Structure 1
Amino acid sequence: MATNGRHLLLRSSQLLRNAVIINHAPALQRSYSSDREGWLNKLLHVKKVEPAKAAHSEALTNKDVVYEMQIHNIKPDRMREYIQASEHCLKRIHENPDFPCSLFGSWSTAFGHQDQAIHIWYYNDGYRAVKTMSEKLWVDKEYNDYKKLRGEMLMNRSNSLLLPFSFWGAPQPREPGNLYELRSYHLRPGTLIEWANNWKSGIRFRRDNNEAVAGLFTQVGDLYLVHHLWAYKDLQTRKDIREKAWQNPGWDSCVAYTVPLIRKMESRVMIPLPCSPLQ
């Protein structure tokens, strides 16, 4: 009898303890989830993204201008021929007032993607100018002759339409003799506004040497892709300027909050072509 009584008492105690755990499980789960979320946020330094209140094109830029980035991957043995053929065509379009666009910059890559040329065009009248330009080039005999010749030199090509970040400001004049770095960031979807908010405060740490050329984000093409264009006298100057930025209080926060937003990033060091307005 004593043994049976002890078994009944033990069984009752276990049932009571299980009931207490079940009753408190939701609270324990909430506490665990809250602690886990807080720990992860601290670990990753991620700010919560507020719901978007407007389209990116409205929230991040205040101009009607549109940029077009053209990327040409060239057959290695045709690079010199490509540059010579492109020089005349690019310059002709840039200087012709009948074409509603301007050549912003034109480069060949020195480090990063090899045998590649990048051209950036500027449409002051926005998408209307993009449409007009496409129609004019379609019937322009000289351009179509060049396009046919160019096709024999390329492995593939792509383009995208981009808008400028309003906080970056207009490109400033600079002395010739620079090399350029195009840093491209593939962001996690939904984080573009957070990226812009952090860089809006962080860009001031990168203006001392007039190295900040342009900040652009895609509207047509590979989406959630951001490009930052920088100018340096040489690679050693690039190294010195980038290291000096870490001495500014606040730059570390900009990096800490933006790095977790990136899915992939890449860097190209580029040399201006002779016809490029940016030298």
Structure 2
Amino acid sequence: MLVEQRTYVLHAAYTVDDYFAAYVETGLPIQKAVLGGFLGYFVTEFGAQNELNHLWAYQDLEDRRARRARLAEEPEWQRCSQRLRPMIRDMRNKIMYPTSFSPIRELPLVGEDSADTAFTWRPADRPSSTMDHGGHRPDVGIALDGDER
């Protein structure tokens, strides 16, 4: 497993709220569905201002490459990206591998969370799907109540 940290610093003319207004309803859902390993989004309180950090988990570099290529092809992501890019002054990313003593070392992670996060991770060849009429996620084999199917 690896974790990618993506750091965006916004232009002074934009606020974090401006960015999230353009991102949360459109960008985040498509990223979660395609990338699948959402660990979290964080903003700074001290230090660099107007900085956003988001973390994504992948099985390996090939998994990351394939998922990011699929994301780039999504028309909905392309439209969202066109709105976001003018707000971003600086973009950085880094790939991190967990240490042997890290509590996060492999996928899926154990925890309660919504669909399409690293807590409900699935292989890249098993795309996100909607829940069936019984409230189950057929792609991960777990019911909403946490019972295995």
- Does TM, normalized by the shorter one, top 0.5? yes
Report the 3-state secondary structure (helix = DSSP H, G, I; strand = E; otherwise coil) of the residue aligned with 2:21: helix
Q: Do the aligned residues in 1 keep the contact of 2:30 with 2:76 (CA within 8 Å)?
A: no
Q: Structure 1 101/126 Cα, relative in aligned 2: closer, same or farther at 3 Å?
A: farther
Pairs aligned (count): 106
**Larger RCO (CA within 8 A; separation ≥ 6):** 2
**Is 1:162–2:66 an aligned residue pair?**
no
1:91 corresponds to 2:29: yes
What letter matches 1:84 in structure 2? Answer: A
The separation in 2 between residues aligned to 1:145 and 1:91, in whole angstroms, is 13
| CA–CA separation in structure 1 for the residues paired with 2:75 and 2:43 | 26
Gaps of 5+ in 2: 113-149
TM-score where L is the length of structure 2: 0.64
Matching of residues 199-218 of structure 1 within 5 Å: none
- Go from structure 1 to structure 2 and tell me whether the alpha carbon gap of 1:100 and 1:74 turns closer, same or farther (over 3 Å shift): closer
Moved >3 Å (runs of 4+):
171-174
Q: Percent of pairs identical after alignment?
A: 18
Partner of 1:109: 44
Does the CA-based 8 Å contact 1:85-1:146 persist in structure 2? yes
Asked whether the 8 Å contact 1:101–1:129 carries over to 2, the reply is no
Supply the RMSD in Å over aligned alpha carbons: 2.0
Of Structure 1 and Structure 2, the greater helix share is in: 1
Residues 36-85 of structure 1: CA deviation (Å, up to 9, x unaligned): xxxxxxxxxxxxxxxxxxxxxxxxxxxxx111110000023312210111
CA offset digits 1:7-27 (Å, max 9, x no partner): xxxxxxxxxxxxxxxxxxxxx
Question: Which 5+ residue runs of structure 1 have no aligned equivalent?
Answer: 1-64, 175-279
CA distance in 2 between counterparts of 1:100 and 1:153 reads 22
Equivalent residue letter for 1:78: Y
**Which amino acid letter does the alignment assign opposite residue 81 of structure 1?**
D
- What SS does the corresponding residue of 2:20 show, helix, strand or coil? helix
